[in-house]
A and B are shown apart, each in its own frame.
Chain A
Amino acid sequence: MIDIENVSKWYGDFQVLKDCTSQVTQKEVVVVCGPSGSGKSTLIKCVNGLEPVQQGRIVVDGADITAKGTDLTALRARIGMVFQHFELYPHMTVRENLCLAQEKVLKRSRDEAVSRAELFLDRVGLSEHIDKHPGQLSGGQQQRVAIARSLVMDPIVMLFDEPTSALDPEMINEVLDVMVELAKEGMTMMVVTHEMGFAKKVADRVIFMDEGAIVEDRSTEDFFGNPESDRAKDFLSKILNH
């Protein structure tokens, strides 16, 4: 589903990604973790072409994201993305947030867009908030709306970039519950997160990054059971002990 082959990326002289290679197969849930600044966000942004790469290839569902001439707009419409700070459109109601890309990108009719918006809003448990603006919702509710906004597009894969790290602790679980539900339904997911409980529960694999390189890429049991690198051990001991 997602094929990352020898990807390197630079910001000026600074190399953010160093020869990264990995795959995500259909229905797989892959968690990406690592210290701050290790390039996790950058890697995930490259997967839907929000950031260009200078070397290597990324293929999503048979389409080469990194090739010139690929219709990125059409491809992105099928790749869901959830951001750390939700990024809901503040001047629109929840309904309009959920309908905009359906109508303008997928060219769905208004009726169809609204009925799908209602369906997915119900699934994240926020039906009664459809007429509100994002500013009237809590962080956890906003993030659930943001997830629904991606789901209405019928994505073939969902990317998450630290979806819970901007939330107050008591709101983290309501968002994680939605994500666990999605994983169980067989959604292909690539999730940058520090929520190791979530990783243990639903991830098939864990990718550990450090200084732009993929240091470990192993099954979840292996990663938590006997991490190979000192970096990963160090990271795990810090993150599991608090």
Chain B
Amino acid sequence: MNYNWNWSVLVTEPYLDWLISGFYWTISVALVAWIFAFSIGCLVGIGRTLPNKFIAGACTCYVELFRNVPLLVQMFLWYFAMPEALPEEWGRWVKRDMPNPEFVTAVIALSLYTASRVAEQVRAGIEAVPKGLAAAAKAHGHGVAQTYRYILLPISLRMVVPPMTSEFLTVFKNSSLALTIGLLELTAQSQQIAEYTFRGFEAFTAATVIYVLIALVATVAM
């Protein structure tokens, strides 16, 4: 291949700033979405295993809905359709006055989608705890809340850590879909650099390296 590599564009202004800004938005969207996804996912996952049929059923519906609609479609629905479906006042606020609408929408879409996947991992973890342990806790007078708090959750959370790491990485990778609703995260900025400089290889190589580094750091940290 006779391509003339020119890495210097990456450290030229304003392109370096663009990359840094893209990196910042990718990290922000992914981390904020992860905090929501993890919290909601744990609650929904626990909910699916509760003896209460109504709560369990509602949580199952949540998972099936959000897990089975493509994330890109969800992103578009939240961005384009949701403001129309809201009461008029709210819709206007969302469209006109809500600060940073791309960011907020991306976080909502990513959190709710990822929460459905986290919920499945949490449910599987709880169901993998031998049934006899919950029976023993019940036989000793522990109620449902105590049984979860002291027996089921401590045991299952240990099992759930490895799959959680991979869900966490998935949030990072999926955050690139936010470019479709106009959030200038890492992938969008690389694309923009490519368009301005005609240095597509360099720009996307930089993005690739940054994504891989984030993944490595996350894996080591967990």
Contact = CB atoms under 8 A, between A and B. Distances in A.
A180 interface: no
Main secondary structure of the interface of B (DSSP, over half): helix
Contacts of B154: 91
A74 B137 CA distance: 13
Interface stretch (A2-10, A78-86, A192-200, A228-236): A78-86
B20 to A, nearest CB: 44
Nearest to A101: B140
A85 B134 CA distance: 13
A90 interface: yes
Interface string B131-148: 011011111111100100
Contacts, number: 59
Contact of A101 (B130, B133, B142): B142
B150 interface: yes
Interface string A77-99: 11101010101111100000000
A26 B202 CA distance: 84
B138 A87 contact: no
Contacts of B132: 83, 85, 87
Contacts of A150: 140
A100 B150 CA distance: 8
A85 to B, nearest CB: 6
B138 A76 contact: yes
Nearest to B141: A77
Contacts of B181: none
Interface string A89-132: 11100000000110011100000000000000000000000000
A89 B138 CA distance: 13
Of listed B130, B133, B140, residue having the most chain A CB within 10 A: B140
Interface residues of A, number: 24
Interface string A196-236: 00000000000000000000000000000000000000000
B151 interface: yes
Interface in B88-143: 130, 132-133, 135-143
Of listed B130, B142, B158, residue having the most chain A CB within 10 A: B142
Contacts of B130: 85, 87
B139 A89 contact: no
B93 to A, nearest CB: 47
A104 B142 contact: yes
Contact of B146 (A81, A83, A85, A104): A104
Given A91-B154, A104-B150, A149 B135 contact: no
A150 B142 CA distance: 13
A150 B139 CA distance: 9
Contacts of B150: 89, 100, 104
Given A101-B140, A105-B142, A149-B140, A50 B151 contact: no
B50 interface: no
B143 A73 contact: yes
A57 to B, nearest CB: 20
A106 B146 CA distance: 13
A77 B140 contact: yes
B135 A83 contact: yes
A153 interface: yes
A164 interface: no
A81 B139 CA distance: 7
17 contacts: A50-B135, A76-B139, A83-B132, A87-B130, A87-B136, A89-B151, A89-B155, A90-B133, A100-B140, A101-B140, A101-B141, A101-B142, A104-B142, A105-B140, A105-B141, A106-B141, A153-B140
Closest 5 CB pairs of A and B: A77-B141, A87-B136, A105-B141, A101-B140, A81-B139
